[in-house]
A and B are shown apart, each in its own frame.
Chain A
Amino acid sequence: EAEVAQSPRYKITEKSQAVAFWCDPISGHATLYWYRQILGQGPELLVQFQDESVVDDSQLPKDRFSAERLKGVDSTLKIQPAELGDSAMYLCASSNRGRVSPLHFGNGTRLTVT
């Protein structure tokens, strides 16, 4: 079964450094989501893409976070500079077009900022 690929699996970085995460959704999935999940909480949406366009980035801290999906396929989420409070699991998910398409998640990137 096709999967959403994410890398790296784990990332440890010092505060004030830059960090980037990569996601490759299931082939043909037009919608891509980046979520942040703090330990003990549910995921929270950071940004949603429809093809190469941003549909929702209302919860993305734009002073330090950026996301792109240049060709409407894979996507990169960047944090610069990282802060201690950014330590969390960063999850990528994709879904197909249509109102009843389920979410398919990657395994996530666990970020620790020291």
Chain B
Amino acid sequence: KNEVEQSPQNLTAQEGEFITINCSYSVGISALHWLQQHPGGGIVSLFMLSSGKKKHGRLIATINIQEKHSSLHITASHPRDSAVYICAGGPGGGADGLTFGKGTHLIIQP
């Protein structure tokens, strides 16, 4: 069974800080999704990646296939970034067969 582990479970930081959330995954997973869940429950897909690095605005996602590790970075963090960030891994490049991590609860204080 595929496994996805996230760390830290909770993270509180000050506005402007550089944020890193980590995700380790098991053999059998070849693609990673990073998702953002706001308190209301809705989930937004941030990135899908199977190699290298992707950037969108202040968000950067990286993946190291050899180490089976991915990171989500937030630069110049802002209170509106406060949310739960979820890593999910799957055997292919799409959304089938995803195993989700438990999420990292991020709070950015002004």
Contact = CB atoms under 8 A, between A and B. Distances in A.
B93 interface: yes
B41 A89 contact: yes
A4 B72 CA distance: 25
B34 to A, nearest CB: 11
Nearest to B6: A42
A102 B88 CA distance: 12
Interface in B79-110: 86, 88, 92-98, 100-103
B102 A102 contact: no
A100 B93 contact: yes
Contacts of A101: 94-95
A13 interface: no
A89 B40 CA distance: 10
Nearest to B9: A40
Interface in A87-101: 89, 91, 93, 95, 98-101
Interface residues of A, number: 27
A99 B92 contact: yes
B44 A105 contact: yes
Contacts of B97: 56
Contacts of B88: 42
A103 B48 CA distance: 10
Interface of B: 4, 33, 35, 40-45, 48, 86, 88, 92-98, 100-103
Interface of A: 31, 33, 40-45, 48, 55-56, 89, 91, 93, 95, 98-108, 110
17 contacts: A31-B95, A42-B86, A42-B88, A42-B102, A42-B103, A43-B86, A44-B100, A48-B96, A56-B96, A91-B43, A95-B95, A100-B94, A103-B45, A104-B45, A105-B42, A107-B41, A108-B42
